[in-house]
Structure 1
Amino acid sequence: MKRTISWMSGMMLLATPGLALAADEPTVKDAIQAVDTVWVLVAAVLVFLMQAGFALLEAGATRMKNAGHIAGKNVLSFAIVTLVFWAVGFAISFGQGNNYIGMSGWFLNVAEDKVNDIFASLSFSSVPLGAKFLFQVVFAGVSLAIMWGGIAERAKLIVYFVFGTLFTAIIYPVIAHWVWGGGWLSTLGMQDFAGSTVVHLQGGVAALVGAILLGPRIGKYNKDGTANVILGHNTVYSVLGVIILWFGWFGFNAGSTLMANGVFFPYVAMTTNLAAAAGAVAALLTAWVVLRKPDIGYMLNGVLAALVAITASCAFVKPWAAVVIGALAGIFMVISVLFFDRILRIDDPVGAFSVHGMAGIWGTLSTGFFAAPDLVQKLGVGQPGLFYGGGWHQLGIQFLGIAVSFAFVFVASFLILYAIKVTVGLRISREEEIIGLDVSEHGVSGYPEQLPHGGDYHPGSNMEFRPTHLA
Structure 2
Amino acid sequence: MTMEIIELSYAIDTFYLLISAALVMWMAAGFSMLEAGLVRSKNTSEILVKNILLYAIACTCFLLFGYEIMYGQPEIESHSADADFFFQMVFVATAMSIVSGAVAERMKLTSFLIFCVILTSVIYPLEGAWTWGGGFLAEAGFSDFAGSGIVHMAGAAAALAGVLLLGPRRGKYGKNGEIYAIPGANMPLATLGTLILWFGWFGFNGGSQLQLTGEGNADAIALIFVNTNAAAACGALAAFLTMRFVWQKADLTMILNGALAGLVAITADPASPSPIVACLIGAGAGILVVIAIIVLDRVRLDDPVGAISVHGVAGLYGLLIVPLTNAEATVVAQLYGAGVIFAWVFITSFVVWWALKKTLGIRVSMENEYLGGDLTDCGIAAYPEFVNSKSE
* Range of TM-score over shorter length: over 0.9
CA distance in 1, matches of 2:167, 2:94: 24
Which of 318, 325, 332 is 1:370 aligned to?
325
CA distance in 2, matches of 1:398, 1:71: 35
Which of 431, 452, 457 is 2:367 aligned to?
431
User: Is residue 149–residue 338 contact of structure 2 (8 Å, CA) maintained in 1?
Assistant: yes
Q: Does 1:81 align with 2:95?
A: no
Deviations 1:227-261 (A, max 9, x none): 10000011100110000000000000000111111
The match for 2:174 is 222
Deviations 1:136-194 (A, max 9, x none): 01000000000111100010111232100000111111111111001011112211000
Query: Deviation of residue 127 (structure 1)?
Result: 1.2
| AA at the equivalent of 2:353 | L
Which of 303, 312, 316 is 2:259 aligned to?
303
Query: Deviation of residue 409 (structure 1)?
Result: 0.8
Query: Deviation of residue 26 (structure 1)?
Result: 6.5
User: Is residue 55–residue 72 contact of structure 1 (8 Å, CA) maintained in 2?
Assistant: no
User: Is residue 112–residue 362 contact of structure 2 (8 Å, CA) maintained in 1?
Assistant: no
Query: Deviation of residue 70 (structure 1)?
Result: 0.8
The match for 1:259 is 211
Structure 2 unmatched ranges of 5 or more:
none
CA distance in 2, matches of 1:369, 1:411: 30
CA distance in 2, matches of 1:133, 1:275: 28
CA distance in 2, matches of 1:35, 1:439: 48
Which of 125, 131, 137 is 2:89 aligned to?
137
1:181-196 equivalences under 5 Å are 181-196=133-148
Task: Quote the sequence identity (%).
Answer: 45
The match for 1:245 is 197
The match for 2:239 is 283
1:155-174 equivalences under 5 Å are 155-174=107-126
The match for 2:270 is 314
CA distance in 2, matches of 1:428, 1:288: 38
Deviations 1:191-243 (A, max 9, x none): 10000001000111111111111101010001112110000011100110000
The match for 1:113 is none
Q: Does 1:413 align with 2:368?
A: no
Give the match's secondary structure for 2:130.
helix
CA distance in 1, matches of 2:338, 2:79: 30
Q: Does 1:350 align with 2:305?
A: yes
User: Bigger relative contact order, structure 1 or 2, given CA contacts below 8 A and separation 6+?
Assistant: 2
Which of 264, 268, 271 is 2:224 aligned to?
268
Which of 46, 67, 73 is 1:69 aligned to?
46
Query: Deviation of residue 288 (structure 1)?
Result: 1.6
CA distance in 2, matches of 1:195, 1:223: 39
| AA at the equivalent of 2:345 | V
Compute the RMSD of aligned alpha carbons: 1.4
Larger radius of gyration: 1
CA distance in 1, matches of 2:268, 2:304: 25
CA distance in 2, matches of 1:435, 1:185: 46
CA distance in 2, matches of 1:319, 1:175: 30
Give the match's secondary structure for 2:351.
helix
User: Is residue 148–residue 267 contact of structure 2 (8 Å, CA) maintained in 1?
Assistant: yes
CA distance in 1, matches of 2:173, 2:342: 28
The match for 1:231 is 183
With 140-149 and 257-266 compared, the bigger mean Cα shift is at: 257-266
